[in-house]
Chains A and B, each alone.
Chain A
Amino acid sequence: MGLASPPPRQAPLVPQQWADALDAISTSRSPPIAVICGPKNSGKSTFSRLLLNSLLERYGRVGYLDTDVGQPEFFVPGCLSLHLVDECLPDLMKTSMREPERCIFSGDISSKRDPEAYINYIFQLYDYFLEKFNQSDDVDSHRKAFLPLIINTAGWVKGIGFDVLVELLKYISPTHVVQMRISAESKNLPTGTFWLSDKKRGSSELIELATVFTDSFNRSVLIRKNAHSMRDLRLSDYFKRCFPSSLNISTNKELAHALASIPPYQIHFSQVKVMHLFCQVPKHEVFYSLNATIVGLAASSTLPTSSARCTPWCVGLGIVRGIDVKKGMLYVITPVSLCKLEKVDILFQGFIEIPTSLLQVRGCISPYMSTNVLHKLPEKDL
């Protein structure tokens, strides 16, 4: 199986309704802060990309806050990331890999395990953006660039997912809220300013858009099945960056071989702290838990200063490829550059599962891949 991305969906012609919305947002008086929300496969990402391109024409640089940890736009699953984009996206139907400006490791592919932490991560990234790129009360504010911000959200809009979205909108109070709606009414968000109680009138401009995919119901089933393999693909793409592009790694097989062969980074146990995000692991079992898993690399020294929220920034992901307890060494594979890595002193372990394609190649099969395992169900959809 190659690393090629899934067959491209046909690029939609931008409907008039969408074009008007794009126009309205990008021509607003102040740099807009736009939140795009709606159920799964309603075209949030597509609209965000269109909006990004259209804002770039006017502003040159645009902030992009990606809160969809399951299917991220520019970075890896399990991370919330803030990007500063200064070039147009050439392909509107594909995600691309970009180094984030700031990033937080949530360690999960949805907010369900710890919604509160998830909300705090978003706030922290948003505060950072405001402070750096969208603040006017400073004396030398003239020198600061006022940048617009696009916030893409996850497609979980019911139950706790809805509560999370409401919290997010309340805190950020964006200038524009774009709500994507699909034909299956029951899956949509409520109309109107659903995040505010009746008495208040928000300052946000609300835009409701119909999705361009009329066959959205069928399509959503189809894509949801792929969510897992898309995440694997994304992670494979990320770890491919450990190697120079001249190596020309095109298949999973080659990547798995390359990962097995590359001399990893080594770090002594005493110089990093291992933190489990979702469960408690007894101290003497830590290495059992860590070996051959994906971890978030974070630096405690880079704690944000101004914000009350203080999750250490993440610089990227790594694979703990081996542990030598005798020498006290952890061996980590990561595409993060050495100068960034130098500050890393925390390894976060969440539930970002390592793609099995990276573990099983003929002659190089990880011990964690086993035969004769009692049957498992095909992956259940989230």
Chain B
Amino acid sequence: MLKSRRKSDTKQPLKMKSNDYEGKMTSSIGYKLVPWMNWDEWNYVRRSIFSSSPKLISAALQKISAWESRGCLPVAIDLTAVIIEIHQKDPFFRGDGSIGDALASEKMLNMLYCMFIMRLVNDFVEPVHKETGQSISDIADAIGIPRTLVDIRHESSHRCLPSLKLARSASAKALEWLKANYWEPQRIAVLDPRRKVKSRLREMILCSAARHVPRVNSTNPKRKYRKRTTLLVGCHKLSHINKRLLASKSDASTVQKVTKRAAHLYSLYPSEVVSLLLEIFLSQAGDFSDGIDMEHSDDPDCNIFKQFTGSPSDLKMLITKLSKKKPRLLLNMLKLVLEMIEEKDSRNFEIDWNHFLSSQNQVQMNEVCHLRSLLTFLIRNLKALKESGQIKLAEENQILSIDNIVAPKVLLSSLLHKCLTLLVPGDKHLFKSALLLSEMTGNKLLTEKLKKLPLLAFLDQGLDSSATLSYNESMLLKEEDSINKAEERLNLLKLRLLNDKNRGKSHMNNTADATTRWKVTKSWVACPIGTLPCSFSSTVLLPILDFMEVEREMDKSKTTSCNVENVCAAEENGMVCDDNESSDDSNPVKKLKQAPQNDDSPAPENPWPMQGRLLIGGVWKKKSETSPMPVNAIASFINEF
């Protein structure tokens, strides 16, 4: 007999005793190979295929066909796709009443339905039948397959096809069975872990909070009140065990226990834990700022809240403890925080430019502010871990050892790179983060340069506010001085670039001719198969696999820059500020252009992000390779203020 199915089909567990049948498949404990990359993809298909929109349905069917080509497609999904596709071909089930590509022949439709029903019954019943020798109808009964389906299977394989009407209604029953026995239980099985993580984390934070309440109290009475209410609210949800945890006044051992459990949780669901930690952090931050907003509603400066986030909050304690056990947590969090800052920043700038500060906007700003403070904290932890040897730095492309977490060196510089991209003058948190990072890389020159950065920013702020003031002489002198310096640096960079270019050329000649299509990727950071290395953290990137036509015309992404914005070659697309545009454009809204795609660098390989760039007017600019930027352009740019 020809077996039509793939080897690894999902079936009912073979070794079920008859009284175990409940028509439910039990979920497995270990890892299984699945054709989808994450459960969101699966949920998308689930929602689409059971929707009433033909468009969504066909999208789901196409996705399933891609899954099928990977092998390892659960048979329940395969069968669901089959029946939905048949229904799409049957005028009876087509909601819109249109004929379209519907099948006109009832005979054909009937055969399709019967074939589907035969496959369904056989796939779920036959393995058990073979194993136990029980009758087909008994097994079907035990797993809840309607009797009609068993009868139709028998009739159509041994006698003649039943009526189309019967087959149709049976097919609907079959679909219901698949929903109830695969789609729903699987949906719930995936939902659970998220809830579990949430409740455990809450428990842990409460536990450590209880320990620190007295200390925190002394600093701020308002906070004390707040803390208590959160505690009370939380307590309602606590189980008995948690209450006991709290009651025991959480000595060191309980905290340890809780940390251990959280670490275990993290090893199971890393992304869930990280995103939840951040969520809680932000909600806490929001809590504190709400109360103070009343008093300082006109002052957007977020430094005022520093006293709250700056003090060792409970959450931070938790993160520190957890990261000692699971160093990778820090890297994961760093990545997420940076991404969030970036996202919120870009949103804020837009709002900022068009409207006056609204209260909603301000909440946003506060959030970013808190995130920035968290960033410094995370990096400090990272540094501590590095110094204690729990995280090691390695040259890139080294093969990872299993025991130690090894972060490639390239990672640090790309993190730094990212920090600088997001750096806003006056932002001490980010600046500190960047400084810490550069210290970690061991690049002294870079550290020195970074230390000088705030001066430049100061200068720039001075320029901005001086719009109403008249320039004084010393200011002008300073300008002249800086122009001269810039020219000097420009020449230096030009020289270096030339050298680099020559070196690059000789290298090219040695290795490959112009026709090579296959190349070994120059820079790579270890990441699981099926993912891409993230350009600024050691965490992995789930690739976006939606097909797009290769666009030659890059979309110009607009970013409003608020007086001073440091654009330092945004990592992925090599976004650089167009020289000419910004120098003769008096509008501070600068258009960022995507540089032509750089084919061979999936991760930034530039060990020094500032290389080839100049800080001009608070904007990091890529120096053009062929001709040095005319110095008078810089002068004119500065004079505009």
Contact = CB atoms under 8 A, between A and B. Distances in A.
Interface of A: 112, 159-160, 228, 247, 253-254, 257-271, 276, 278-289, 291-293, 319, 321-329, 331, 333, 338, 341-342, 344-345, 349, 351, 353-354, 356, 358-380, 382
B547 to A, nearest CB: 4
User: Considering residues B9, B186, B550, B597, which has the most beta carbons from chain A within 10 angstroms of its beta carbon?
Assistant: B550
A327 B572 CA distance: 9
A376 B65 contact: no
A279 B69 contact: yes
B469 interface: no
A368 B37 contact: yes
Interface in B538-564: 542-548, 550
Given A366-B529, A368-B33, A375-B10, 20 more contacts: A228-B7, A260-B527, A261-B398, A265-B518, A285-B63, A323-B532, A325-B543, A325-B548, A329-B599, A329-B602, A358-B529, A359-B33, A370-B31, A372-B190, A374-B27, A374-B76, A374-B182, A376-B11, A376-B28, A377-B11
B214 interface: no
Given A373-B32, A377-B9, A264 B70 contact: no
B39 to A, nearest CB: 7
B236 interface: no
Contacts of A270: 550
A327 B602 contact: yes
Contacts of B71: 351, 353
A174 B517 CA distance: 43
A322 B65 CA distance: 20
B33 A374 contact: no
Contacts of B2: 112, 159-160
Contact of B530 (A261, A286, A327, A366): A366
A249 to B, nearest CB: 9
Contact of A284 (B69, B182, B524, B546): B546
Contacts of A287: 543, 545-547
Contacts of B521: 263-266, 331
A355 B48 CA distance: 31
Contacts of A278: 69
Nearest to B42: A370
20 contacts: A159-B2, A261-B398, A266-B602, A268-B517, A279-B68, A281-B66, A284-B546, A285-B63, A287-B545, A291-B37, A323-B532, A354-B529, A356-B33, A362-B402, A363-B400, A367-B528, A368-B33, A369-B34, A373-B74, A376-B74
Given A281-B69, A325-B547, A363-B328, A374 B186 contact: yes
B219 interface: no
Given A361-B402, A367-B542, A379 B8 contact: yes
Contacts of A354: 33, 529
Nearest to A249: B399
A380 B9 contact: yes
B66 A288 contact: yes
Nearest to A258: B399
A261 B190 CA distance: 30
Nearest to A271: B517
Lowest 9 A-B CB distances belong to which pairs? A292-B530, A285-B66, A261-B526, A263-B524, A284-B547, A287-B545, A377-B11, A373-B32, A369-B31
A375 B12 CA distance: 7
Contact of A259 (B6, B68, B529, B573): B529
Contacts of A284: 62, 546-547
Contacts of A364: 400, 526-528
B396 to A, nearest CB: 9
A374 B543 contact: no
Nearest to A288: B66
B637 interface: no
Given A322-B532, A376-B10, A293 B38 contact: no
A362 to B, nearest CB: 7
A164 to B, nearest CB: 12
A23 B639 CA distance: 98
B112 interface: no
Given A280-B65, A371-B30, A372-B192, A328 B550 contact: yes
A367 B271 CA distance: 12
Interface in B180-237: 182, 185-186, 189-190, 192-193
Given A267-B517, A289-B69, A373 B34 contact: yes
A265 B69 contact: no
B29 interface: yes
Interface in B565-591: 572-573
B397 interface: yes
Contact of A159 (B1, B27, B190, B542): B1
A260 B32 CA distance: 19
Nearest to A368: B530
B67 interface: yes
A69 to B, nearest CB: 14
B334 to A, nearest CB: 17
B410 to A, nearest CB: 12
B569 to A, nearest CB: 16
Interface string B505-524: 00000000000111111111
Given A325-B548, A344-B518, A292 B529 contact: yes
B268 interface: yes
Contacts of B103: none
Contacts of A322: 527, 529-532, 543
Contacts of B397: 261-263
A369 B72 CA distance: 11
A259 B400 CA distance: 10
Q: Identify the interface centre among A247, A356, A382: most chain B CB within 10 Å of its CB.
A: A356
Contacts of B62: 282, 284-285
Contacts of A247: 399
B6, B36, B189, B402 pick with most chain A CB within 10 angstroms = B402
B607 interface: no
Interface string B392-432: 00000111111001000000000000000000000000000
A380 B26 CA distance: 18
Contacts of A359: 33, 528-530
B25 interface: yes
A247 B397 CA distance: 14
A373 B28 contact: yes
A257 B400 contact: yes
Contact of B523 (A159, A253, A258, A263): A263
B27 A382 contact: no
B448 interface: no
B35 interface: yes
B481 interface: no
A260 B526 contact: yes
A80 to B, nearest CB: 20
B503 interface: no
A326 B544 CA distance: 8
A369 B517 contact: no
Nearest to B533: A322
B287 interface: no
Contacts of B27: 372-375
Nearest to B532: A322
Nearest to B193: A372
Contact of B189 (A293, A323, A362, A374): A374
B67 A288 contact: yes
A267 B600 CA distance: 10
A231 to B, nearest CB: 10
A325 B546 contact: yes
**Among the interface residues B29, B527, B532, B573, which one has the most CB atoms of the partner chain A within 10 A?**
B532
Contacts of A363: 328, 400, 402, 405
Nearest to B127: A377
Given A262-B524, A351-B71, A364-B528, A285 B547 contact: yes
- Chain A CB count within 10 A is highest, among B127, B190, B529, B546, for B529
A113 to B, nearest CB: 9
Contacts of A323: 532, 543, 545
B33 A369 contact: yes
